[in-house]
Amino acid sequence: MENPLLKPFETPHQSIPFSSIRPEHFIPALEENIKNALEAIDAIVQQTTAPTFENTIEALENVGELLGRNSSILFNLNSAETSKTLQSITQQASPLLTKFQNDVRLNQALFERIKTIYENQKQEKLSVEQQTLLEKEYKGFARNGALLGEAEKNRLREIDTEKAQLGLTFGENVLADTQAFELHITEEKELKGLPEQVKEMAAETAQSKDKTGWIFTLDYPSYVPLMTYAKNRALRKKMSLAFGRRGFQTNDNNNTAIILRLIELRKKRAELLGYDSHAAFVLEERMATSEENVKNFLEDLYKKAYPAAAKEWKAMEDFAADQLGLSTMEKWDTAYVSEKLKQAQLELDEQQLKPYFPLEKVRAGVFEIAGKLYGLRFEKNESLEGYHPEVEVYEVYNRKGDFYALLYTDFFPRPGKRNGAWMTSFRGQKKDQRPHISVVCNFSKPTASTPSLLTFQEVTTLFHEFGHALHGILANTTYGGLSGTSVFWDFVELPSQIMENWCYEKEALELFARHYQTDEVIPMEYIQKIKKAAHFQQGLQTLRQLGFGFLDLSYHGAQATDIQDVKSHESAILERVQFLKDTPQSCTSTAFSHIFQGGYSAGYYSYKWAEVLDADAFELFLEKGIFDPQTAKSFEDNILSKGGTEHPMTLFKRFRGKAPDPQALLKRAGLVV
């Protein structure tokens, strides 16, 4: 059988022919791709000519093109459309790819060529981008063991292989526990308080499983509305405990041992390379530069946010006792009480907003906003394949009318798709190659009687992920290794978080916030309430994010391997950011995929860090106009198109004219006047 993964795709824009690809194609293709890539590296090493940027660094950049493409396809499918078969293949592929990475990074002869160029770079007239790539390659080798002795290199290989497989297993366990739970309701009286659309969606879920009544799952569009609106406290408790037990049950999916082993391996790896901790290793290549700087940043925010959070919590407790008859609040009460308090204080019910945010119009709106800002045009092409019938594919054209990117959109939860929302790419950008970008979310599904109507939080999520997508779509660099989101991890959230700001602006909302039945533009009073709601419980929300940041750092600092018990450690760290008593049956860490499966280990603080950048950057848009063409062009030219070609602080200052000011974030959040 012919394997389509062994050659370039002969399709429009070299798009992926998903229907032609079988799970059994991946391993043979990856093995062949790795063999070819290693042969290409041997050719670089065996050159008799002296090392130059062109014959070594540029040549290395072009190695393994098919390998990168095929591994991206495999791992993206494993996140968005997985199966037991695909999970097994990903587990087989992981050690192959880790070994390949190590074979490259620990190739002494290759490193000697790179080192020679790095030490003599003044002899070559390199561009800024070439200098950045050279430095990135040199550091990439040095930080991945090139300076180690042979025994240490072998130990590093063992650590990396085990680490990669544990991360995959962690994610599989979270998904398995998420999919295994369902709450089956047969009496409608138990569903008091739930919006009709939520009930209809739950009824359709039950119907799809050949059951009567209503079924709720731990997928966000099912879980969040039940926790927010259900009057039945027992149901909220049952759902909350199930959500908190993911990866924390007495079954094969328990992640506690995996966490302890992962933090041990990360620390051992860092020590092998001469660092005190995994955090020290990671943060050396971040804007924050050190664990001390991150701690100071988080602590400073904590001091500003805690007094506001304490007041907000007291207001919730008083309201719960006086208006809802809850003398003591538990974990499963907070979303419910918070929503009721918001309705009372702001006279804003999220359910009143949803009819103005049908997914189709919001998507069209974000496309139009991208058009106004950056001259992009999105055209759906039904002849291009997605990996699932719900996936839509768009051709993206720039202001000159040139093809610029492919965009895949995948918006609804289903079995085999992990929770949350993310942007990824199937193909990166480099000179003479445009990218293929994917935005994946888990939004409320359409029902028999209504289209997909988004909560305002889902609207901001779409804008957030689309901001990441723009970072990929508008990338315009020479080298793929510096393109798009290939930037310092605490800079990568700037394009996504700044995009959320347009959700709160009247001029932007009027483009897409239209009633799904009447096409009426969202009333001005609702827009004013949305803007007020942006400040609602910002102290508590900030504290929650800081808690994740503190927890992440605690697992990756110098004392990480002193941790004996995941749950008790987590409880001790989070105590200062929570006003609730601890729930023994629940554990955040065992489903904390960002740091144990994704790339945010020792980097979760970057969400708040990037909020400082985005609040400050958006102030310029507010000064000049949110659709000001010059400001948008400057943001595109200095941030979105540049990727990691220069230090992020240099790029930020070039756009903003100054260093970022943390006061902008505190002011926007209403934490300072």
**What is the set of active-site residues?**
465
Q: From residue 161, how far is each of 69, 100, 164, 286, 598 by CA, in Å?
A: 21, 10, 5, 25, 16
User: Two tokens at 277?
Assistant: 């901790």
DSSP 320: H
Residue type, 161: T
User: Two tokens at 254?
Assistant: 């328990």
What is the residue whose two structure tokens read 């508590």?
A: 540
Question: Which residues lie below 8 Å from residue 35, measured CB to CB, with a gap of 6+?
Answer: none
Closest CA to 605 of 279, 313, 312, 170: 279
What element of type H or E holds 369? helix 359-374
Question: Which residues lie below 8 Å from residue 8, measured CB to CB, with a gap of 6+?
Answer: 14, 66
Q: From residue 145, how far is each of 108, 130, 274, 323 by CA, in Å?
A: 10, 23, 10, 61
Alpha helices, DSSP H, located in 245-376:
256-272, 278-283, 291-323, 334-346, 350-353, 359-374
What is the residue whose two structure tokens read 């935005």?
A: 439
DSSP 444: P
Distance CA 230, CA 117 (A): 64
Per-position DSSP letters for 147-196, written without gaps between them: TS-HHHHHHHHHHHHHHHHHHHHHHHHHHHHHHH--EEE--GGGGTT--H
- Please report how many Cα atoms fall inside a 13 Å half-sphere around the Cα of residue 273, on the Cβ side: 27
* CA dihedral (245, 248, 253, 258) positive or negative: positive
What is the residue whose two structure tokens read 């929650």?
A: 544
Phi/psi of residue 179, nearest 5 degrees: -75, -25
Judged by DSSP in three states, 104 sits in helix
Closest CA to 57 of 104, 102, 108, 117: 117
Residue type, 334: T
